[in-house]
């Protein structure tokens, strides 16, 4: 089920002249963030990572993430839509822990910046986009069709995280 945290967006009047921005998150170390102003995708960025503070590998970089979000929001009223994902069958314990840790870092940064968060299941946003049951590359193709302004950032097959972030932002 979808859940929302943070300040209520339903209590605000629509006469607020502040422009809005929706931040779509495909969480995880190989995920991405898309900023959608209601008409166009303003930016797509890869999830910032850094060398893991403990152990080997990479982790989401909270400082760089916070800095990027401050820049993306630029004084606008922001809402984050985060893909509500869970462990997958056959996924190892360390990778499951690292993924959960990544989601926790994203939620912590959003909370610290006082950006309300809405969680959406992959099935829900993909169904709304007409992508349910289609292969991973279908999201990339659709994102390019709907948002040619970011097509140059979606040229590789491995850009599915970026395309998913675009779809999640559009859903928001």
Tell me: the pLDDT tens digits for 4-21? 555 544 444 444 467 999
Q: How far is CA 169 from CA 15, 37, 80, 110, in A?
A: 23, 9, 8, 15
Residue 38, SS3? coil
- For the cut 70, the answer to whether the pLDDT of residue 35 exceeds it is yes
pLDDT at 17: 61
Q: Determine whether 73 is exposed, middle or buried from the number of CB atoms within 10 Å of its CB (0-12, 13-18, 19+).
A: middle
- For the cut 60, the answer to whether the pLDDT of residue 136 exceeds it is yes
CA 126 to chain centre: 14
Residue reference for tokens 């990778």: 95
Q: To the nearest whole percent, how much of the chain has pLDDT over 70? A: 88
Q: To the nearest whole percent, how much of the chain has pLDDT over 90? A: 64
CA 163 to chain centre: 10
Of residues 93 and 62, the one with the higher pLDDT is: 62
């Amino acid at each position: 089920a979808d859940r929302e945290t943070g300040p209520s967006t339903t209590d605000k009047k629509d006469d607020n002249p502040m422009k809005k921005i929706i931040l779509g998150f495909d969480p995880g170390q190989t995920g991405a963030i898309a900023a959608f102003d209601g008409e166009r995708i303003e930016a797509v960025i890869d999830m910032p990572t850094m060398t893991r503070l403990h152990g080997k590998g990479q982790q989401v970089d909270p400082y760089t993430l916070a800095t990027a979000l401050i820049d993306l929001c630029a004084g606008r009223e922001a809402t984050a839509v985060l893909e509500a994902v869970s462990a997958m069958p056959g996924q190892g314990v360390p990778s499951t822990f690292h993924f959960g840790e990544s989601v926790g870092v994203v939620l912590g940064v959003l909370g610290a910046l006082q950006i309300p968060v809405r969680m959406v299941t992959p099935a829900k946003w993909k169904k709304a986009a007409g992508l349910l049951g289609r292969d991973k590359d279908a999201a990339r193709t659709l994102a390019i069709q709907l948002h040619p302004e970011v097509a140059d950032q979606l040229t590789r097959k491995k850009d599915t995280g970026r395309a998913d972030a675009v779809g999640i932002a559009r859903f928001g």
